Structure 1
């Protein structure tokens, strides 16, 4: 089959690779209808996530059709249209029983590196390096889905392929941040990053009762999407002082909840951003926390901060004194999508959530290398590039 592979730092190629096979009884094979780029993929492309190997198939956000089922699968059959959570969880361990699915004890067959880096191993994730399991990704004609009864979800009739696609990763990641940040009715919420995850976090905040939601970015097409399709206020950090403007909009206090949806390659302005960028390029720090620092300073006293963007290792000049002295609550997580995807699909079916607008560029898989370069460089208004590995389907739109 054809697949889009990582072939080196900032290099991708469409290659012919082996078809996936059922390896364990709980597996299914999915024929991929739609699969999309994600901002966290750029960390892989840039070489900031270790243990990538040339030939690894990229892609972790996808939907498709079940074409083969393992003998232990009970909830799916051939022909089912499903969306699959990007994180892989067994559904049976202690962490899964607590609905902390991305921390699954059994989802990652290669736990040694993350145990060394973070003190404990987290779950597995499609196509996110061999440190998170070495699973082949979704930018391919077919994909093996482990623990399918827990990680694949039937798509309701009336929800298009394109809408359902973003219930795989962007929407549940956003929901994870909004829900676990502790949003209560009437809160003011600020979200750093107007990509797919940031927009979904903003919409989740609204559906959880936030009264005011402000999305911060610099790219006009993304800010316009956040305003038009999500209904959020927007703030361009290249034109205004974010901390001062947020205090101005909140009676001098700052937001009740801040959600950082940018991660380890955050853009910024001023000398501190240049300092972080140089240190990261020289591998003197693994992550540049420009947006995370700003969120800490902007948050009101006693407020809540959720780190939703991907961070891999160590950051410099982390203002822990501000966290402690302001009495802040700080949390972070990879997505616990198994908890949220059924709810998201229902919001899509009820017309309470819009996701199709994120797909600004829909194209064949063979154009994958060009699409990733465009996505990385933020060219042509690209918010998300979506691939059709098996051609356009009649239910895609």
Structure 2
């Protein structure tokens, strides 16, 4: 089959690799019909290269048709149309039964000290072959895949794999009061969808911050009050502008949908890039134990949120020695919630929004649809935010 493979920093290629097969009774194999390119994939493209191996298959946002199931998968059959969550979880362990499938005790990558295995996401999360491919082996298929009806196009459901539950959890963790205010930092796919979810779930006002014209325009079109970071002399000035819209207090909650790819510290970027260029035996421990992130968005979130408010971190951070303003966090009495989205925890809540009237705008959420063969171009375009790229779907 054809698959998108990682070969080095900023080097992905479409290659021929062996077809996946059933290996365990709880496996399924699906034929992929749509697969997304995620902002997290860009971390592998550049920042997290010390944890990658040439030939790794990328991707974790698929949907498709079941081709084959193992004997331990009673509720799926060949021909079923399914969306596959990005994490691999059993559904039966203590963590799964307590709505934390991202911490599944069956698939935890204990050798790396990490949570549940993820598709296509470094050795830290199990080095499981990913979903930017023609076919995908799905472990723990007795729990993970979400069956969806025939008929509507893939765009209606494909975001159940990651974008929708990640945005939904970000808003749930933000705990925005009915009619309250929330600011979303970063209007990429997750931030954009978090704005839509927040408005759909009763937020009174949603403020969106970004510095890319197309992203700001998209958000404004959905009722978001946008702030262009480029229009302020400093981030402090932007924070004050948002406070002015909230009686001087700041929003009830701030969602950081940026994470480690934030603009900001040149020193942190130097550490990231240096680690990525070193031999893996040296770079991996360096990146894992001593790396720092570019924390501009997180600092802004801490400054912007009102006292007694909530920070919801959905952007991925990876540094182990990041300096945090603990005095400010304590003095402002902030609550902080974060983590990978627990897809099956939220999927049943989300499905009623995927109706013909499309309140979340999923049918036209993708800005680009490309064949899988153009994956190298898709990665480059998405990283550099070219041609208005916000969300890219690929078709094998």
Q: Could you say whether these structures have the same fold, taking a TM-score greater than 0.5 normalized by the shorter chain as the test?
A: yes
SS of residue paired to 1:87: coil
Cα RMSD, aligned residues only = 1.6
Q: Give the direction of change, closer, same or farther, for the CA distance of 1:183–1:156 in structure 2 (3 Å limit).
A: farther
Work out which of the residue numbers 359, 365, 368 in structure 2 matches 1:358.
365
1:157: how far off?
Answer: 4.5
User: What residue number does 1:333 align with?
Assistant: 339
Work out which of the residue numbers 163, 178, 185 in structure 2 matches 1:170.
163
1:148 corresponds to 2:141: yes
Aligned length: 377
User: What residue number does 2:12 align with?
Assistant: 12
Q: Give the conservation status (yes or no) of the 8 Å contact 1:49–1:312.
A: no
1:280: how far off?
Answer: 3.5
Q: Give the direction of change, closer, same or farther, for the CA distance of 1:289–1:49 in structure 2 (3 Å limit).
A: farther
CA distance in 2, matches of 1:26, 1:95: 19
Q: Give the conservation status (yes or no) of the 8 Å contact 1:90–1:96.
A: yes
Work out which of the residue numbers 316, 321, 325 in structure 2 matches 1:310.
316
Work out which of the residue numbers 241, 252, 266 in structure 2 matches 1:274.
266
1:32 corresponds to 2:32: yes
1:339: how far off?
Answer: 1.2
Q: TM-score, normalised by structure 2?
A: 0.91
Work out which of the residue numbers 154, 157, 169 in structure 2 matches 1:161.
154
1:245-295 per-residue CA deviation (whole Å, 9 max, x = no partner) reads 110111100010111011111124xxxx33433343345633211101100
CA distance in 2, matches of 1:86, 1:127: 9
CA distance in 2, matches of 1:298, 1:159: 41
User: What residue number does 1:236 align with?
Assistant: 228
User: What residue number does 1:123 align with?
Assistant: 116
SS of residue paired to 1:311: coil
CA distance in 2, matches of 1:49, 1:233: 36
Work out which of the residue numbers 239, 250, 264 in structure 1 matches 2:246.
250
CA distance in 1, matches of 2:200, 2:101: 22
CA distance in 2, matches of 1:158, 1:354: 18
Q: Give the conservation status (yes or no) of the 8 Å contact 2:268–2:292.
A: no
User: What residue number does 2:74 align with?
Assistant: 74
Deviating more after overlay: 288-297 vs 313-322: 313-322
CA distance in 2, matches of 1:155, 1:335: 20
SS of residue paired to 1:287: coil
Runs of 5+ unmatched residues, structure 1: 116-120, 390-397
Q: Give the direction of change, closer, same or farther, for the CA distance of 1:175–1:50 in structure 2 (3 Å limit).
A: farther
CA distance in 2, matches of 1:365, 1:38: 14
CA distance in 2, matches of 1:26, 1:64: 18
1:138 corresponds to 2:131: yes
Q: Give the conservation status (yes or no) of the 8 Å contact 2:8–2:49.
A: no
SS of residue paired to 2:367: strand
1:232-252 per-residue CA deviation (whole Å, 9 max, x = no partner) reads 221111113321111011110
Runs of 5+ unmatched residues, structure 2: 276-289
Work out which of the residue numbers 300, 310, 326 in structure 1 matches 2:306.
300
Structure having the larger proportion of residues in helix: 2
